[in-house]
Amino acid sequence: MRDSDRYLMPEGAKVVGRQDDVFEMRITIPSDEHGFFGRQCPSCTQIFRVDSSDYDALPDDLELWCVYCGHHTEHSEFLTQQQLDRAMRAVDDLGTQLIQEAINDAFRGLTRPRSRRRSGFSIEVSHRNKPFYPQPLPKINEEQLIRVRTCATCTLRYAVFGEHRFCPVCGLLPAEVVALDALAAETARLDGLAQLPAEVSASLREQGVFTRIWVDTLENLVGVVEAMTSKVFHSSVTDAATLVKGKGNIFQRLDDTADLFAATGHLDVRSVIDTPTWQRLQEAWATRHLFTHNDGLVDAKYLAKVPGSTAKTGQRLTITEAMCRQAITDTEALCRAIAALTAP
C-alpha cells in the first residue's frame, strides 16, 4: 500500500514520499479571497502578503527579502506562525498514526500467559486498534491586504502593512518609489486628521497639535527629498562621494542640489520645474528651516529666501493645512523631475 493511502491525513495535507524513516508531506497554504497569502520575516517578525500565482511562477531556490527590514534568506524561512501551526497539525496527525503503527508491531503475536507462579506476578496487556480520524487543519486568518502594489522591475504583486523599502524578490526599491510612498503617507496623515470628530479636532487644534503636525510634514518633505536626491546622485555619478565631501547637508538645500546635478552633466532641475512650483518649494524649505532652527520666528535669512513674504523680522510664521498639501504636491513634482534627470 502506498504511504499516501496508508496514512489518513486531513484535507490540505498529503504524504507524498518516504525514504527510510523520513516522510515527505505536502501541505497547502490557502490564499485569501484576493489570491494572496502571508509571508513573515524571521528577523523582524512582521507580515507581508504576496500574490500566490506570481509566487508559484518563481524559481524553487528563490531567496526572499523582507519588505520592511531587508532580511534576505531562503523563502521557506518566511512561514507565518499560522502557517506553521497548520503544518504542525498535519505532522501531529502523521506522528499519531506512526506511534499507533509501532504499537501494533510491538504487540503483534503477543498472547496472555495461561499460568503464573505463586511467588511471581503477571502483566496483562489489552491492545485495541482504534480507528484514527484526522482533525481539520487550522484555517489561516491573517491581516488582509488594503491595496496591491506591483514591483516595476519584476511585476510581483504584494501587499504591506507599514513603511517598507524592499521588494520581496528584487530587494531595495528605487529611490523614487520610496519617496513617492513617503509622500502618500504624508497625505494620508493629513486625511486622517480631517476625519477626526469635531470635538476631538477642536481640542487638538487648541493645544497646537495640528500646527506641530504641519511643521513635521514640512520637515518630513525635506527629509524625503534629501534621501532620494542623495541616492540618485550617488548611483549616477562615479565620484559622488568626492564631490559632496565637505559640503554638509547639501541635499537639504534646493539650489545647491540643483547646481550639483547640473555640474555633473545633468539638466538643471530648475529648468524642468515651472517657476511658481520652484518658488513655493523654496518657501516651504525656508519655513521648515525657520521652525527647525528658530522656532518659526522670521529672520533676515528667511526673508532673503522668500522676498515676496509680508512677514516682518521677529514675527512668528503660521502654517496651514492647505500649505502642507500644496507642498506635498510640489515635492512630488520635484521627486519625479529629479528621477527623470538620471533616467536612461
In a domain, 21, yes or no: no
Angle formed at CA 159 by CA 157 and CA 165, multiple of 5 degrees: 95
Map residue 50 onto helix, strand or coil: strand
pLDDT in tens, the chain (344 residues): 555 567 777 777 777 777 777 777 788 788 899 999 999 999 999 999 999 999 999 998 999 999 999 999 999 899 999 988 888 888 887 777 777 777 777 766 655 554 454 455 555 555 556 677 777 888 888 888 888 999 999 999 999 999 999 999 999 999 999 999 999 999 999 999 999 999 999 999 999 999 999 999 999 999 999 999 999 999 999 999 999 999 999 999 999 999 999 999 999 999 999 999 999 999 999 999 999 999 999 999 999 999 999 999 999 999 999 999 999 999 999 999 999 998 87
State residue 117's pLDDT score.
47
In a domain, 60, yes or no: no
In a domain, 221, yes or no: yes
Our separate counts of H helices and E strands in the chain read 12, 10
Measured distance CA(170)–CA(152) in Å, rounded: 10
User: CB pairs under 8 A, 24+ apart, for 56-63?
Assistant: 58/156, 58/169, 62/169
Burial class (CB in 10 A: 0-12, 13-18, 19+), 20: exposed
Residue range of the domain that includes 227: 175-341
Closest CA to 158 of 259, 48, 232, 255: 48
In a domain, 52, yes or no: no
Count Cβ neighbours within 10 Å for each residue of 138-176 and write b for 16 or more, e otherwise. bebebeebeeebebeeeebbbbbbeebbbbbbeeebbbb
Q: Write the DSSP assignment of 136-162 as a string of letters.
A: PPPPP-PPPPSS-EE-TTT--EEE-SS
In a domain, 142, yes or no: no
State residue 329's pLDDT score.
98
In a domain, 268, yes or no: yes
What the block records as the C-alpha cell of 331 is 515635492
Measured distance CA(186)–CA(191) in Å, rounded: 9
Say which residues have a Cβ less than 8 Å from residue 141's Cβ, sequence separation at least 6. 82
In a domain, 299, yes or no: yes
Q: Write the DSSP assignment of 91-111 as a string of letters.
A: HHHHHHHHHHHHHHHHHTT--
State residue 90's pLDDT score.
80
Map residue 51 onto helix, strand or coil: strand
Measured distance CA(150)–CA(179) in Å, rounded: 16
Map residue 314 onto helix, strand or coil: coil
Report how many domains make up the chain. Answer: 1
Closest CA to 126 of 115, 111, 141: 111
In a domain, 251, yes or no: yes
Angle formed at CA 186 by CA 180 and CA 191, multiple of 5 degrees: 125
What the block records as the C-alpha cell of 12 is 490540505
Closest CA to 47 of 60, 32, 62: 32
State residue 124's pLDDT score.
54
Q: What is the torsional sign of CA 298, 299, 301, 307?
A: positive
